[in-house]
Amino acid sequence: MSDEAPHLLTEETEDGVLIATLNRPDKLNALSRETMDLLTDAVIHFRDTDALKVMLIRATGRYFCSGADLTGGNQKRISPTGNTPRGIRENHRLNLNNMQQLWDEMEHIEKPFVVAHHAMCVGGGLELSLSCDFRLAAKGAGYAFPEGLFGVLPASSGVSRLTRICGPHWARWLIMANKPASADMAFTMGLVHQVYEDETFEAEVMDFCRHLAKQNGEQMGAAKVAIELCAEVGRDSARHIERMANSALMLNPDYLEGVKRYMAKFSKE
């Protein structure tokens, strides 16, 4: 039996935050099969546990994540025609230790995912991060897609999500030009939501997660779905989506009580 520490550690806070920590610092937190299996279990637990409001993904060591583990020999070929273009496409969709399916599930779950980059985040680690709702960076973080060094694309939703989030202008920089980005540059791109000083990063991240955990769960879920849909459709259809979402939220007792409290505050002034 191996004495190696678990590749992913999890803990739950009293505030309703599930913290998942990538824990292979000696391997630069490369995403092994064990990491992906444990992360999948954590995501499902988060999805199915009402008391958990926010999932935070973070890491230890000098890298947030160096991408998929290409040295562990734990990738199995799914398609019997793997050496053909069609087989390679199928393996991208079904293999890579469940990456595409898990990133999609994280995007679809109606609770917020936060990822905290304390250091360099590349390849599959960046693809993981693009599926999260909020990306927070320390000043010392950095970003890159090294797949271009091998003459291929980041095809576990790297191209599609990066282009959607940052636009083709910056997707060309990271993917075509194969150039890295600092944390401040990533903020300019719209890749990360906020950049914090290294010294206060962990505390700032937890403050943000606790803030999210206090928000109304029904509103958060509806907002996540509505925002994704509105990004896909025209302006008129987007108006219908927001009205449809609000028609359910405005019948929620939490909304009605919230309006009463809000109005009462003004009546006292």
Find all residues with CB under 8 Å of 87, minimum gap 6, and list them. 79, 80, 81
Can you give the pLDDT at residue 78?
55
What is the pLDDT averaged over residues 87-97?
70
The dotted CATH code for 8-213 is 3.90.226.10
Strands 63-65 and 54-59: unpaired
Query: What digits encode the pLDDT tens for the residues 226-267?
Result: 999 999 999 999 999 999 999 989 988 888 888 888 888 776
What is the pLDDT averaged over residues 199-227?
96
The answer, yes or no, to whether residue 56 has pLDDT greater than 50, is yes
Strands 54-59 and 17-22: parallel
Can you give the pLDDT at residue 224?
95
pLDDT classification of 90: cutoffs 50, 70, 90? confident
The answer, yes or no, to whether residue 93 has pLDDT greater than 80, is no
- Of 44-48, 158-162, 244-248, the range with the highest mean pLDDT is 44-48
What is the pLDDT averaged over residues 2-29?
94
pLDDT classification of 72: cutoffs 50, 70, 90? low
Three-class DSSP labels, 49-114: CCCCCEEEEEECCCEEECCECCCCCCCCCCCCCCCCHHHHHHHHHHCHHHHHHHHHHHHHCCCCEE
Can you give the pLDDT at residue 239?
94
Can you give the pLDDT at residue 1?
40
| C-alpha to C-alpha distance for 195 and 117, rounded to whole angstroms | 9
Can you give the pLDDT at residue 100?
87
Give the type of residue at 146. P
What is the pLDDT averaged over residues 106-114?
97
Q: Show me where the domains of the chain are located.
A: 8-213, 217-267
| C-alpha to C-alpha distance for 137 and 184, rounded to whole angstroms | 9
